[in-house]
Amino acid sequence: MKLTVRHVTRYRFEEPVRGVVQSLRLWPSDCASQKIQSWSVETEGALRGAQFRDSARDCTELASWRGPLEELSVVVTGMVETTDQSGVLREHREKVPPSAYLRQTRPIAVDNALRDLSETALKGLTSASDLDRAHALSGAVADAIAYVPGETRAHTTAAEALHGGSGVCQDHAHALIAVAHVADIPARYVTGYLHSDESGAGHEASHAWAELFVPTLGWVGFDAANRCCPDERYIRLGSGFDAQDAAPIRGVVQGSSPEEHLEVEVVVTAGQQQQQ
pLDDT digits (tens, 9 = 90+) for 130-157: 999 999 999 999 999 999 998 899 999 9
pLDDT at residue number 50 = 86
Judgement on whether residues 127 and 256 belong to the same structural domain of the protein: no
Residues 103 and 230 in one domain: yes
Residues 76 and 96 both lie in one domain: no
For residue 36, what is the domain's CATH number? 2.60.40.2250
- Verify that 18 and 149 share a domain, yes or no: no
Q: Is the pLDDT of residue 200 over 80?
A: no
Indicate the number of domains in the chain: 2
Residue-by-residue DSSP string for 216-271: TTEEEEEBTTTTB---TTEEEEEEESSTTTT-SEEEEEESS---EEEEEEEEEEET
Sequence-ordered strand ranges (E) for 86-176? 146-147, 166-167
| Residue 204 predicted with pLDDT over 80 | no
Residues 90 and 6 in one domain: no
> Do 265 and 205 belong together in one domain?
no
How far is the C-alpha of 246 from the C-alpha of 268, rounded, in Å? 20
Looking at the fold, whether 235 and 142 belong to one and the same domain comes out as: yes
Say if pTM beats, i.e. exceeds, 0.85: yes
Tell me which residue range forms the domain holding 116: 85-240
pLDDT surpassing 60 at residue 201 = no
Determine the average pLDDT of the residues in 36-45: 97
Say whether both 52 and 178 belong to one domain. no
206-251 pLDDT tens trace: 899 999 999 999 999 999 999 999 999 999 999 999 999 999 999 9
Can you give the CATH number for the domain in which 193 is found? Answer: 3.10.620.30
Looking at the fold, whether 137 and 168 belong to one and the same domain comes out as yes
* Residue 171 pLDDT greater than 90, yes or no: yes
